[in-house]
């Protein structure tokens, strides 16, 4: 491999690394926005604080009732059944988190 070819290859690798970094940053941003949006839904539906919503999120994650397949592409977290967004269910999950 000639020096010139080696330098061109190194530049291509740097460009690829920058593209990957930008893509990863975008994925992390979408994940954070999806998490915040889901906490807002829990806060509104359950009439609870942000800290309580984070605990409910943990319980839901533990019991695998969250659908996170679209987090990186569309930035959305949903539940597998709408019943998990009812106030009494959210409050039961919060009670479980307190144990």
Report d(CA 40, CA 63) in Å as an integer.
20
pLDDT 10s per residue in the chain (99 long)? Answer: 565 555 555 567 777 777 777 778 888 888 899 999 999 999 999 999 999 999 999 999 999 999 988 777 778 899 999 999 999 999 999 999 987
pLDDT at 4 (0 to 100): 56
Instruction: Select from 84, 74, 80 the least CA-distant residue to 30.
Output: 74
* CA–CA distances in Å: residue 64 to residues 19, 24, 59, 78, 79: 33, 25, 8, 11, 9
What percent of the chain shows pLDDT beyond 70? 87
Q: What was the pLDDT predicted at 18?
A: 76
């Amino acid at each position: 491999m000639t020096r010139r070819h080696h330098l061109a290859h190194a530049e291509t690798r740097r460009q690829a690394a920058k593209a990957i970094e930008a893509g990863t940053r975008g994925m992390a941003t979408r994940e954070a926005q999806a998490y915040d949006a889901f906490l807002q839904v829990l806060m509104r539906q359950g009439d609870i604080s942000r800290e309580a919503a984070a605990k409910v999120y943990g319980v839901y994650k533990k019991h695998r009732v969250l659908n996170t397949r679209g987090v990186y592409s569309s930035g959305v977290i949903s539940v597998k059944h709408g019943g998990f967004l009812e106030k009494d269910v959210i409050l039961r999950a919060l009670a479980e988190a307190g144990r």
